[in-house]
Amino acid sequence: MKSTEVYGVLKRELSPVLKPLGFKRGKSFLSWFRIHNGLCTVLWCQVSRDGWDDYAGSQFTVEFQRSSDSEAGSPSKRRMRIAKLLSEGQRQEVWRIQGSVIASLRRPPSNHPTLTVSPEVAKWYLAKFEKPSRRYDQGDDIRFRYANAEHVAVWATLLARLMPKCVGSIEEDSSATDS
C-alpha cells in the first residue's frame, strides 16, 4: 500500500471530525492545526519511513503538539505521541485492534530473503508477526500497523472517535512540556 493511499483513507475519516473543531489542513505530512489560547494545536499522521513490506505491511504514528508555529514537528511547548493522550481503556482498545491486525498478516515463506541473512535478522523480521506482548501504557510509542486498506479504515474510524478527546487533553495544560 502506498503512503498516499494510507493518507487518503486517514484524511477522508479525520477531516470531517476535525473541521468542525476549527482545524485546517497543514502543509506537511497529513497534518491539521488550529489556534487555541494563543498557540497552535497541531496533529499529524506519519507513515513509517521503513516503507512497505508485502508480508509485514507497514505502520504509521499519530503525534500532537502545541506551539507558536502551525507546522508539524516545529519547536513546541508541548509535543507527544497519541498514547499519552489516551485513557487506559482506549489504549487497551488500540492494543486489541493491533493484535487483530498482526494476527491477520500473511507470514513469509521459509525461503524469504530476509530470513536467510542471519539468525538475528530473521528473529528481528519474524517479530513483526507477533502480537504485542503487553498492553500499551502512556509511555509507549504506538505504531498503528496495517497490511491493507481495511486495516487503515479501522484505525481511521477509531482515531476519528478519539480525536476530540486527544485535542482537549493536549490543550488542557499547555504550560507543561512533554516529548
Q: Is residue 177 assigned to a domain?
A: no
Q: What is the pLDDT of residue 49?
A: 87
Helix (H) or strand (E) holding 47: strand 39-47
Nine cell digits for residue 130: 507477533
Q: Which domain holds residue 67?
A: 3-172
Average pLDDT, the chain: 91
Each residue's pLDDT tens digit, 108-120: 999 999 999 999 9
Q: Is residue 90 assigned to a domain?
A: yes
Q: Under a CB-based contact definition with an 8 Å cutoff, are residues 79 and 63 in contact?
A: yes
Q: Is residue 178 assigned to a domain?
A: no
Q: Is residue 29 assigned to a domain?
A: yes
Each residue's pLDDT tens digit, 127-160: 999 999 899 999 999 999 999 999 999 999 999 9
Q: Is residue 179 assigned to a domain?
A: no
